[in-house]
């Protein structure tokens, strides 16, 4: 029985608690009807029994359709949705269990799509794999096409990855050669630095040896001076004693000489005594500084 609108259905005699006329009515939104609804009590009894067996709510994707809405969604002209049929979303339900239960409960038109199950009670039993959506075979073909496309894409990706890897290895080799050249240049520079440092160390060692020799010589001289102090004392007294002796000799000679000889003696002795005196005092002045 067709109702122009699901609102016309009496609530008083409605005995199917898990479903409403609204969710089973046309969903064209006023494009072709006012929410037309096809009432079939036997169909609703089987649908309520299916709900009880599945133990979970059944989501109705599509129920009755007016002619315009049936054409809009791509239904066949003689679709059972023009009377009473439902498309139930599989959701978390077990597909095989739902199909088996539908067959036991008297649904004769069963269509298995990817995401929903089509059910109706047409005359004669049929398993329609395309009613209201894509068929199982279409799903299989689509899955195979997706697998093939994915395989081709994977091969292309592999080729691209290999080419990119080859380019990357070439770049790595170029960078490695550059690094080796840099390391060789650095090693050569270090060798030059080591050679220069070695030469400088040799010169420094020579200079240090010379200074050590000079220091040893000076220490030896100092040791000699320290070892023979009496020699230094005698040497220190020699020049003043000689100077004094020269002045004494000069005085004695001067007193005993003739008048003519005195001037020559005095000149010679004065020169020698003066030289000795200045040498002695001058040398002492240098050491005192």
pLDDT given at position 279: 63
> Cα(274)–Cα(260) distance, rounded to whole angstroms?
22
Q: What is the DSSP letter of 204?
A: H
Q: What is the mean pLDDT of the chain?
A: 78
> Cα(242)–Cα(235) distance, rounded to whole angstroms?
11
pLDDT given at position 178: 79
pLDDT given at position 68: 96
Does pLDDT of 260 surpass 80?
no
Q: What is the mean pLDDT of residues 192-202?
A: 72
Q: What is the mean pLDDT of residues 75-89?
A: 94
Cα separations in angstroms, 253 against 34, 147, 194, 247: 172, 144, 78, 10
Does pLDDT of 193 surpass 70?
yes
Contact 75, 48 (CB under 8 A): no
pLDDT given at position 103: 93
Q: How many CB atoms lie within 10 A of CB 63?
A: 22
183 burial class (0-12, 13-18, 19+ CB within 10 angstroms)?
A: exposed
Please report which confidence band the pLDDT of residue 160 belongs to, taking 50, 70 and 90 as the band edges. confident
pLDDT given at position 188: 81
> Per residue in 243-257, pLDDT tens?
777 777 777 776 776
> Which three-class secondary structure state does DSSP give residue 117?
strand
Cα separations in angstroms, 251 against 243, 248, 255, 256: 12, 5, 6, 9
Q: Could you tell me which residue, 69 or 124, shows the higher pLDDT?
A: 69
Closest CA to 21 of 32, 1, 31, 30: 1
Q: What is the mean pLDDT of residues 132-154?
A: 55
pLDDT given at position 219: 67
Contact 69, 32 (CB under 8 A): yes
> Cα(285)–Cα(289) distance, rounded to whole angstroms?
7
Q: What pTM was estimated for this model as a whole?
A: 0.47
Does pLDDT of 230 surpass 70?
no
Give 228's Cβ-side CA count (13 Å radius): 9
pLDDT given at position 182: 77
């Amino acid at each position: 029985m067709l109702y122009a609108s699901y609102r016309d259905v009496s609530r008083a005699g409605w005995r199917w608690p898990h479903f409403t006329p609204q969710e089973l009515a046309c969903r064209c939104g006023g494009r072709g009807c006012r929410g037309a609804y096809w009432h079939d009590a036997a169909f609703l009894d089987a649908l309520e029994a299916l709900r009880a067996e599945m133990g979970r709510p059944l989501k109705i994707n599509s129920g009755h359709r007016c002619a315009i809405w049936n054409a809009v969604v791509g239904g066949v002209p003689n679709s059972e949705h023009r009377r009473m049929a439902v498309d139930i979303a599989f959701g978390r339900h077990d597909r095989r269990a739902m199909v088996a239960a539908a067959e036991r409960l008297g649904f004769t038109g069963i269509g298995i799509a990817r995401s929903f199950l089509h059910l109706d009670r047409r005359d004669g039993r049929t398993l329609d794999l395309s009613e209201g959506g894509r068929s199982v075979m279409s799903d299989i073909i689509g899955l195979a096409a997706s697998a093939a496309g994915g395989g081709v894409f994977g091969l292309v990706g592999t080729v691209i990855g290999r080419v990119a890897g080859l380019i990357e290895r070439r770049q790595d080799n170029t960078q490695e050669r550059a690094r080796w050249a840099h390391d060789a240049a650095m090693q050569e520079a270090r060798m030059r630095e080591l050679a220069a440092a070695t030469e400088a160390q040799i010169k420094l060692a020579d200079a240090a040896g010379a200074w050590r020799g000079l220091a040893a010589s000076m220490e030896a001289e100092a040791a000699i001076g320290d070892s023979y102090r009496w020699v230094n004392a005698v040497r220190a007294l020699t020049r003043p004693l000689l100077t004094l002796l020269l002045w004494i000799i000069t005085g004695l000679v001067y007193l005993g000489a003739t008048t003519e000889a005195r001037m020559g003696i005095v000149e010679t002795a004065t020169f020698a005594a003066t030289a000795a005196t200045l040498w002695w005092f001058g040398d002492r002045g240098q050491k005192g500084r």
